[in-house]
């Protein structure tokens, strides 16, 4: 017999155009493809969004297929806590985990931060990303964004010192962080680190490939180095010791808010500072990450700013500030 109170899981892939082109060391794209999981009990609904990433062997079709396989377990009463064991960390679990949180908030009338026993979220300064390009193109983009307090510079190609110098000249007052997206190697690592220090960079994300980051143990780090592709969930934290000073926590890697909050706490206990990061996505992806970002050294939640348009009732961005979500969006 069909349970009339069973939760219904709906899975949808959506395409959102990017404003211009987003370029990193691994390539460029002009659209963001997200997968949305929606849970409904007939009265309330909860949503979660994820961004499948080919770097981790994910695709929108495969992630959507995995989620649809969980329609029956969800209807049979699968809980958010049980989900952590039933599905591995990654984009698919992120969408469903965040949908569970949102649904619980809608059902109880309590915001997610209260359900998670967290203080009310406050507006945060978010990084704004400058895509990889020629020194001249990146300097123009940095000049246009020079009024922002925190710029994230995509590097990871030959000639990065020249890019940094041009960007610093174009935005002399902005705090700079760098993301090499695994694009450096042991031979140019020390030189690129020195260039970052000279430019006043305050944090460097994932300079080396995840499978070749042992070289970080043997080199002086004049600027703190943050793990991204080398760190996914709590199980990956122990391997960071001696190589990294910080860790970028992204819900698409952790598999949702549940693990992300636990990972942030364990990272702090291990002496690692944290960064709350994102993929290029809509405000529905950023909303739960805002809770992780509250205790992070750096918030990098500019995904919607890189899109040609965002969801209705999306996050409010005011200069460098991003504001917590309204319940109509999530949580």
Q: Is 250 a catalytic residue?
A: yes
3-state secondary structure 195-218: HHHHCCEEEEECCCCHHHHHHHHH
What gap in Å lies between CA 275 and CA 268, rounded to an integer?
11
In angstroms, the first-to-last Cα distance of the chain is 32
Q: Is 106 a catalytic residue?
A: no
99: number of Cβ within 10 Å: 31
DSSP, res 305: G
- For residue 75, give the nearest of 15, 180, 18, 2 by alpha carbon: 2
* Strand intervals (E) in the chain: 8-24, 27-40, 45-50, 124-125, 128-130, 150-154, 175-179, 201-205, 225-227, 246-249, 273-276, 298-299, 317-318, 321-322
Which one of the listed residues 106, 152, 154, 243 is annotated catalytic? 154
What gap in Å lies between CA 83 and CA 97, rounded to an integer?
7
Consecutive H or E run containing 102? helix 91-108
- 44 φψ region: left (φ > 0), alpha (ψ -120 to 50), beta (else): beta
> 292 with 261: CB under 8 angstroms?
yes
Which one of the listed residues 106, 152, 243, 250 is annotated catalytic? 250
What gap in Å lies between CA 307 and CA 21, rounded to an integer?
9
What gap in Å lies between CA 82 and CA 93, rounded to an integer?
11
Consecutive H or E run containing 64? helix 60-68
207: number of Cβ within 10 Å: 31
Q: Which residues are the active-site residues?
A: 154, 250
């Amino acid at each position: 017999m069909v349970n009339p109170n069973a939760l219904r899981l709906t899975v949808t892939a959506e395409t959102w155009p990017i404003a211009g082109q987003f370029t990193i060391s691994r390539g460029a794209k002009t659209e963001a493809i997200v997968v949305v999981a929606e849970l409904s009990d007939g009265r309330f609904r909860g949503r979660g969004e994820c961004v499948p990433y080919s770097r981790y062997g994910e695709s929108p079709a495969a992630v959507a297929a995995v989620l649809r396989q969980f329609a029956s377990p969800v209807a049979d009463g699968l809980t958010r806590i049980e989900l952590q064991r039933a599905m591995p960390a990654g984009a698919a679990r992120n969408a469903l985990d965040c949908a569970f949180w949102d649904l619980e908030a809608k059902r109880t009338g309590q915001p997610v931060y209260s359900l998670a026993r967290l203080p009310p979220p406050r507006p945060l300064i978010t990084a704004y990303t400058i895509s990889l390009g020629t020194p001249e193109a990146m300097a123009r983009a940095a000049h246009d964004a020079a009024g922002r307090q925190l710029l994230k510079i995509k590097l990871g190609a030959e000639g990065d010192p020249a890019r940094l110098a041009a960007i610093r000249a174009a935005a002399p007052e902005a705090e700079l962080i760098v993301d090499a997206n695994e694009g450096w190697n042991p031979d140019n690592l020390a030189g690129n680190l020195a260039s970052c220090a000279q430019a006043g960079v305050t944090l460097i994300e994932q300079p080396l490939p995840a499978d070749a980051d042992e070289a970080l143990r043997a080199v002086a780090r004049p600027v703190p180095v943050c793990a991204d592709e080398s760190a996914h969930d709590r199980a990956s934290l122990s391997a960071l010791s001696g190589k990294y000073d910080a860790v970028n926590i992204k819900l698409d890697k952790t598999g949702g808010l549940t693990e992300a909050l636990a990972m942030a706490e364990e990272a702090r206990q291990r002496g690692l500072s944290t960064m709350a990061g994102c993929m290029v996505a809509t405000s529905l992806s950023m909303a739960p990450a805002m809770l992780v970002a509250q205790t992070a050294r750096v918030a990098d939640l500019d995904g919607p700013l890189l899109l040609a348009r965002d969801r209705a009732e999306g996050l409010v961005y005011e200069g460098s500030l991003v504001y917590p979500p309204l319940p109509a969006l999530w949580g």
